[in-house]
Amino acid sequence: MGRRKKRKTFKTIHWTKRRPPRTFQCPECGAVSISVKIEEKDGERIAHIACSNPRCRLRSVVKGIPALAQPVDVYGKFVDGYFSGTIEVWFEEGLGEEREGES
């Protein structure tokens, strides 16, 4: 005499959805510390790009961003402009950072 056959149970497979990154690599210092903030002012989209590395503190502004662009797209546009020299870039000084020549 045999046992009753059990119904086979299958494991459900959960796929994780890949999301675009939120922090990017800085072209100046190489650290993964670039953040991109997109805001709308007077109907125009402007992106503020900032490196959070205290030794670098790179800053930039990218204007003329399309309505459907995400931070990944803006970062790509920024890197292209950075290496071609068409985007204005400046460096902020940190408040808690010491300079080499000062005592």
d(CA 39, CA 66): 12
Nearest 5°: phi and psi at 89? -130, 140
Residue ranges in the chain whose pLDDT is less than 50: 96-103
At 42 the pLDDT is 87
pTM over 0.75: no
Closest by CA to 94, choosing from 61, 52, 44, is 52
